[in-house]
């Protein structure tokens, strides 16, 4: 500040993450954008949250504090789905945990309010965005109020935030009190009355929802179909004597030129040098040589928060913008010739799903891909293919990978096989990660995913494309256990499919009820918020543990849980020595039978053979 001749900053950005000046980190984008428009911004990374003095490093800013938990929700960052404390934090120096508090936005805001009672506080980032209205909190197993109420902050900038934060900054610069800035799209505000707002839609009050889960399902259903910037209404949630929390419609999507301008900001691509002694920031290494191609997702997966945060309208950068960044990347001293990814939420989405979206918005009560691709869906990989070809041709580039994931149903809807062929030939490093998530069509329907038959068709097509490329590559599936709707019989069905695959997946995700997803609403209420149908939910931790164990049934430590699950599902036919059996009988029960293999914890373990004859 002294070197720049500043007496005080305009904004102090408080973050739960370490400072990384890279465009994959939201804090870097927001602060660089404000700097570009002439605002003086200081960045307070991971302040000491145990002492009020930690928040006073830069003094009181002229316009306000911007507060974010970081690139992840702090509770997801800290705890596994089993609610056990994680030992590492990829967004902290050296990957060590303990640098940020639980519920970081709430803690930082309260510290600021205590130190500077009148300073404006604007919350942003994924944690604030997905807790902007009343929400189910998995870690406390209860409905919590809007973060705006609990934190004492003045406003939330939700979604990706570039347009809203700039509008907020300009309004504050113009001298408008924070309490009067109630009109900006992409913001949530507190108010005593609703006279400022045009035709607000009244959601059930917090007290109603706290008493009746069905009312929360009603509220969430209305919110879910109100995420389109062209058609959304103002939403208002009552908190009795504390007034209302009001959500303005989302910000309009960024144009290609606006996206290009943002990614042309002077990011250094580095973590702050002060972290070098600790080993740097692990999260940066994951994205340092990757390229962001798009934002938004019209995939509509029920367990994903993208609809609530980034929206369903896909926004893209131009080829020139991406190629410019790639050329700069190749000049890095430690660039080895490999671009690790070119994508976004879904790599192969490079345009809105249909022509009308940029004029009339997305359909409120209809998905683009589920349960079948919409007749108006524009399926075309040509632009993405052209981009990948240009990147492959750059000097210094040996290989361009696609790792952020493709939608196999979107891929199968494309009558032109060129993309899948080039993907297999040039952009897969031996394994292609895809996400069928489950095998039960009943569960898949609740997930917002296509029938499992579509995944099988994709596997066949990918195998043909791989053979045509003269390579040996494999599709590696991701599965989710204990998603709402998944009974023990469904979990066993998934385990049987894994058995037929011939290998056990190392990465299995037990369903994690994170804030503001359709699946989390189902988990909490037992009701699908859009259809109002009742949904079976495995909420008991032990039942969830069994469903997860079934997906890794070969592990000796899981045997007792797997056996319990098979008994509950009435599938004891899967205990034995037959080729379809998941586990062997317990030797101590006198069910001895000679066989090849070795004993592990009382279980006769017979290795399965992989395609090359290696033991799996």
Query: pLDDT-based confidence at 587, cuts 50/70/90?
Result: low
Q: Which residues contact 128 (CB under 8 A, 6 or more apart)?
A: 67, 68, 69, 105, 147, 156, 157, 158
89-115 pLDDT per residue, tens: 999 999 999 999 999 999 999 999 999
pLDDT over threshold 70, residue 528: yes
pLDDT in tens, 548-584: 999 999 999 999 999 999 999 999 999 999 999 999 9
Boundaries of every domain in the chain = 11-183
Cα–Cα distance measured from residue 444 to residue 485, given in angstroms and rounded to the nearest whole number? 9
Contact 81, 510 (CB under 8 A): yes
Residues 156, 147: Cα–Cα separation, whole Å: 9
Residue 594 pLDDT greater than 60, yes or no: no
Q: What is the pLDDT of residues 108-121, one digit of tens each?
A: 999 999 999 999 99
pLDDT digits (tens, 9 = 90+) for 225-235: 999 999 999 99
Pick the CATH number of 11-183 from 3.30.1330.10, 3.40.50.2300, 3.30.160.40, 3.20.20.450: 3.40.50.2300
Mean pLDDT, rounded, of the chain: 92
- Kindly tell me if the per-residue pLDDT of 431 is higher than 80: yes
C-beta separation of 259 from 239 below 8 A: no
Query: Which tokens is 191 given?
Result: 């108010």
| Residues contacting 173, CB < 8 A, separation 6+ | 10, 39, 63
Q: What is the mean pLDDT of residues 238-267?
A: 97
- The pTM assigned to this predicted structure is 0.92
**253's torsion region: left (phi>0), alpha (psi -120 to 50) or beta?**
beta
Portion of the chain with pLDDT greater than 90, in percent: 88
Beta-carbon contacts of 195 under 8 Å, excluding residues fewer than 6 positions away, are: none
How many angstroms separate the first and last alpha carbons of the chain?
59
pLDDT at 151 over 60: yes
Contact 317, 291 (CB under 8 A): no
- Report the pLDDT value the prediction gives residue 590, as an integer from 0 to 100: 42
pLDDT at 607: 35
If we measure between CA atoms, which residue out of 21, 235, 197, 31 comes closest to residue 124? 31
Buried b (16+ CB within 10 A) or exposed e, 105-133: bbbbbbbbbebbeebbbbbbbbbbbbbbb
* DSSP single-letter state for residue 64: E
Spell out where 146-210 has E strands. Answer: 155-157, 187-191, 201-202
Token pair belonging to 588: 């101590």
């Amino acid at each position: 500040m002294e070197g720049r001749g500043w007496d005080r900053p305009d904004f102090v950005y408080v973050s739960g993450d370490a400072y990384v000046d890279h465009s994959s980190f939201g804090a870097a984008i927001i602060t660089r954008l404000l700097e570009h428009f002439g605002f003086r911004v200081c960045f307070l990374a991971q302040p000491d949250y145990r002492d009020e003095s930690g928040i006073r490093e830069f003094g009181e800013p002229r316009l306000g504090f911007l507060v974010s938990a970081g690139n992840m929700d702090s509770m997801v960052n800290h705890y596994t789905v089993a609610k056990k404390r994680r030992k590492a934090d990829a967004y902290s120096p050296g990957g060590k945990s303990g640098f940020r508090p639980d519920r970081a936005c709430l803690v930082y805001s309260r510290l600021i309010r205590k130190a500077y009672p009148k300073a404006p506080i604007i919350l942003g980032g994924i944690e604030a965005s997905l807790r902007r209205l009343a929400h189910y909190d998995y870690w406390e197993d209860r409905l919590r109020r809007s973060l705006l109420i609990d934190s004492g902050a003045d406003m939330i900038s939700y979604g990706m935030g570039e347009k809203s934060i700039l509008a907020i900054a300009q309004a504050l610069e113009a001298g408008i009190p924070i309490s009067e800035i109630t009109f900006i799209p992409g913001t949530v505000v507190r108010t005593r009355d609703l006279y400022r707002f045009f035709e607000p839609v009244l959601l059930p009050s917090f007290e109603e929802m706290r008493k009746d889960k069905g009312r929360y399902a009603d509220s969430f259903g209305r919110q879910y179909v109100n995420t389109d910037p062209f058609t959304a209404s103002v939403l208002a949630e009552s908190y009795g004597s504390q007034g209302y929390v009001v959500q303005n419609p989302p910000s309009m999507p960024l144009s290609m030129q606006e996206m290009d301008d943002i990614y042309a900001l002077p990011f250094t691509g580095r973590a702050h040098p002060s972290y070098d002694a600790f080993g740097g920031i692990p999260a940066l290494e994951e994205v340092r040589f990757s390229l962001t191609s798009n934002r938004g997702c019209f995939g509509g997966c029920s367990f994903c928060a993208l609809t609530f945060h980034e929206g369903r309208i896909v926004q893209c950068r131009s080829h020139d913008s991406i190629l410019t960044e790639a050329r700069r990347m190749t000049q890095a001293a430690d660039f080895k010739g490999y671009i690790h990814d070119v994508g976004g939420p879904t790599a192969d989405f490079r345009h809105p799903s249909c022509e009308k979206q940029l004029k009339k918005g997305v359909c409120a009560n209809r998905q683009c891909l589920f349960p079948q691709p919409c007749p108006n869906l524009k399926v075309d990989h040509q632009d993405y293919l052209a981009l990948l070809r240009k990147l492959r041709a750059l000097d210094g580039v040996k290989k361009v990978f696609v790792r952020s994931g493709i939608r196999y149903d979107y891929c199968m809807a494309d009558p032109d096989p060129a993309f899948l062929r080039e993907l297999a030939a040039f952009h897969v490093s031996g394994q292609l990660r895809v996400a069928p998530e489950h095998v039960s069509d009943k569960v898949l329907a609740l997930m917002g995913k296509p029938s499992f038959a579509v995944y099988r068709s994709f596997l066949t097509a990918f195998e043909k494309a791989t053979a045509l490329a003269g390579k040996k590559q494999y599709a590696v599936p991701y599965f989710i256990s204990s998603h709402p709707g998944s009974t023990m019989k469904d979990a066993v069905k998934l385990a049987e499919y894994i058995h037929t695959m011939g290998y056990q997946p190392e990465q299995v995700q037990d369903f994690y009820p994170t804030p503001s997803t359709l699946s989390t609403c189902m988990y909490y209420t037992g009701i699908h918020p859009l259809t109002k149908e009742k949904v079976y939910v495995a909420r008991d931790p032990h039942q969830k543990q069994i469903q997860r164990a079934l997906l890794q049934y070969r592990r000796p430590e899981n045997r007792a849980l797997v056996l319990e699950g098979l008994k509950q599902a009435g599938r004891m036919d899967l205990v034995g020595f037959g080729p379809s059996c998941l586990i062997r009988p317990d030797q101590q029960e006198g069910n001895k039978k000679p066989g090849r293999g070795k004993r592990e914890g009382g279980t006769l373990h017979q290795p399965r053979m992989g395609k090359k004859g290696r033991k799996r």
